[in-house]
Structure 1
Amino acid sequence: MKAGVGLLSALTLFLLLGAVLTQRPRAKKPTRRPATTRKPFVPRPPGPAQPEPQEPTDFPPPILGPPSMYPDCPRECLCSPSYPNSLNCENRNIRVIPVIPFRTHYLYLQNNYISELTAEPFQNATEVRWINLANNRIHQIHKQVFEKIPALLYLYAQRNQLKEVPSGLPASLEQLRLGRNRISKIPSNAFSKMGNLTLLDLYHNQLSDNGLGQNSFKDLKSLMQLNLAHNALKKMPAGVPNGLIQLFLDKNSIDDIPKDYFKDFNHLAFVRLNRNQLSDKGLPKNVFNISTLLDLQLSHNQLASVPHFNSHLEHLHLDHNSIESINGTLICPYSIDAVMNDHNLVPSLRYLRLDGNHLSPPIPVDVIMCFRQLHSIVI
């Protein structure tokens, strides 16, 4: 019995020892990824020439959104249930305008790669009131586009490549923004029958005196703001409607203002002529003595003295000229004694900027005595 037990124990020990001796250690994982073997480049035999790509290769592909709850919503655009009359196609890398649904009143197409506007996408878009085409590459807008949208009110086409004012603009238009294009000439009939236009922005184009006709603006009876800043004008524009409120002519080369230029303006309140070539010689004595004028900006010119202005003026910018002295008695709209004795005669000037001239503090006493409503003066 004992011999059998001993034999069984010996057999068990033998099996365990065999299992230990036959067990192999596990291989460690490599600390670095083994290098892959690249296949050698084998040139392909010459074949037929590949066709040129349809779209310029430097343009990113159009962005397509998910299907909309509106079956007429183009995949390139977004249609929000909160704004059923808006079609949002901005920042979608669009080259060609998609078909515009009939329900669209507000059309946003800015920041794309559109180069041309044709009438086809607007066949059913008769209800469009507002179009934003800013920051594209538009060089042409077909006249037939506006025949499809006769009730258009706002057209924003700044930052494009237009060389002329679009023709056939609808008579309903109220705002036209064409800044930062390449427009060099405005024909006399460009704005004919546009009696509803209140804002015309032609900022940063290539307009010269020869490019503006004598009657370019004659039909704009409702115009309130005209922006011709950053062009190549040497003279004040002719034929500007006398109902204008804001006139912006900054950064041109204007050196002279005719004596009676502002005589017939009834509501002119803001005039900006910064960064021109105006000197005392080019400013008649009372050219800015306009009772409606509130803000006059003549910064960065060549003025040697403060021009005369009306008592209603509230803001006057004369910084960065060649002014060496300022005399309150000469520029005060009324005598100092009259102002001191009658509060109703105190001029309305609140802000006066004179830095960048040849002036040094202190401010003359007669300036303070006359302009007693001055809140800020920079010298």
Structure 2
Amino acid sequence: MNNGISFLYLDENAMIKAGVKDMHKCIQTMEDMFLLLQEGDYRMGGEKGNEHGIRVSFPKESNIVGMPLHKPDYRFMAMPAYLGGRFKAFGIKSYGSNPANVQLGLPRSVLMMTLMDVCTGVPLAYMSANILSAMRTGATSGVGAKYLSVKNPKTVTIIGPGTVSRYSLYSFITLYPSIEKIKIKGRSKQGIDDFISYCKENFKIIKSYEICDKIEDACGDSDIVFFGTTNAANYEDNPTVQKEWLKAGSLVIGASALLVNTDFLSNEDVKVISDNYKMYEEWGEGQPLPTQKNVSTLLGMGFYDAVVQGKIRRDSITEIGEVLKGEKSGRDNDQQIILYAVGGMPIEDVAWGYDCYMNAVKNNIGTSLKLWDKPML
């Protein structure tokens, strides 16, 4: 019996060669993932199988020399998941995040993805995951835009012009060549300028850009409003959105910190759609409800908080998987405002990582690394 084990190592260039930046394909893969999610053919962390991931938190103060201290977006996480169907694979995305990385010429987050055989635990691949993660988030937003946006949207608002917003806009433009105007609200001139430069280089169909000082100005007359900001140091400093700022028929996608009022969520002209409500439910169970007027710093958690507070009914929340399976409608009319929560799930990483891995194997991309010829234990 040959007990030798090797796995495929895919650095960032190899991942690009393997098609990690193919947005059209990534959107299709996310649709496959959402269908399996709806069928229950998946597991994430926790006893109920719906946890986003496991986070290592640091104290705000410590008398231990060298102990890292808490600050916004400074975190280390492992995100394990199993996805069935045509994937039938287990994976773990791990990452460290530190906003100070940019001063070192590094991305804020450095991510890696491990794929394993779900029966034996044998590693299949170890891959660079920064682009993979950005793509799956962008494509997940894209699935929402595909099924929930008005037809032929022309104007997109970006709140927080960072990496996630770049790739989400990539998904919108992949789906809708009708998009011609981008409205931007950011925290720094440099960030806005970099975003516009990136768009001009990569998205030639965009005809005009409008920089807005206020979120309400940025939201006005937009067909798709995307929130991609990082968490603010203070809860109340996170961005918010109100119904009166939005035009009829707009789609609001929250992939990050976003304050939402319960009255907004319960408005009869507003429809709330979740990527996976059970994940927010698992996060929220046993946690104190927010005391502030706004319900949460994450749109999906806002859904959960509103249900617990009796502001909306659980059965009023539609899962995007239900829309894909035809079990429920997405957009009911052109006047309806839709709020779509994108919380980020490791099954997304498994799905897109698996497809990139299979493409790499098919096209002989990457480096084979030996684990052992024969296990010593």
TM-score normalized by structure 2? Answer: 0.22
Greater percentage in helix:
2
TM-score normalized by structure 1? Answer: 0.22
Higher RCO (C-alpha 8 Å, min separation 6): 2
Greater percentage in strand:
2
